[in-house]
Structure 1
Amino acid sequence: MTTPRMTLQTQAVLAVLLERESWGFDLSRESGLPAGTIYPILRRLTSVGWVTSRWEQAEAAQEDGRPPRRYYSLTTEGRARATNALAEAAKDRGRLTGLLAPQPGQEHA
């Protein structure tokens, strides 16, 4: 299974999907990303087998007076890979933060 680029945007989408199944607008709201960013990420994650999708039952949507939603969720393997990828990204951020932190005795400019 291929690993997608782990951009901050991809990490934000994965973090939401690790919590629950979600649809596009909800993913956008929860991640803080625009739809134009969300959907290409979902396509990439789907193409590598990390994400699957399903359409909501039309009756449920009709009762709410709206079109059916397309729900996205992590596959079993996608969940495991996303958990590992986010943990690794967090470690990388920690290392970078350590490199950028002022060393003892250094003055700030």
Structure 2
Amino acid sequence: MAETGKLSHTAALILHAIAVGYRYGFSIMESTGLPSGTVYPALRRLEAEGLIRSQWEAEAIAEKEQRPPRKYYKTTAAARPVLEASRSRYPLLAALTAPAEEKERV
């Protein structure tokens, strides 16, 4: 597991995006502005470190919306202290992953 506060800026940004509600790969890419070649490897590392867990959505939901199933990510209890330390280390994280309506005010 990652040491508290020792995440890279990219990993911290992705972890924070998941914590505030951007839960699948493409939504994380949209909220952070990071490319898929950065986001997906980081998601695999964060999951291997026990900071997030993933689950595929029900295929019926994807079929109803006529798209491929999405893999959703959620932070774990182990992520809480890491998130707190990362917010201290990278104070702009909240502004970078704020919902669009909040970004307009920043």
Provide the TM-score with structure 2 as the length reference: 0.75
1:87 aligns with 2:87: yes
1:32 aligns with 2:37: no
Task: Tell me the secondary structure at the aligned position of residue 22 of structure 1.
Answer: coil
Extract unaligned runs of 5+ from structure 1: 92-109
Distance 1:72 1:31, change over 3 A: same
> 1:1-109 to 2 correspondence within 5 Å?
1-3=1-3, 5-20=6-21, 22-78=23-79, 80-90=80-90
Structure 2 distance, partners of 1:85, 1:43, is 21
Q: CA deviation at 1:21?
A: 5.3
Q: Which residue type is aligned with residue 37 of structure 2?
A: G
Structure 2 distance, partners of 1:54, 1:68, is 10
Q: Number of residues paired by the alignment?
A: 90
Deviations 1:61-105 (A, max 9, x none): 000000100001101222x133223233137xxxxxxxxxxxxxx
Q: Which has the higher contact order (CA 8 A, sep 6+)?
A: 2
Q: Is the 8 A contact 1:52 1:72 kept in 2?
A: yes
Extract unaligned runs of 5+ from structure 2: 92-106
- Percent of counterpart pairs with the same letter? 31
1 or 2, which has the higher helix percentage?
1
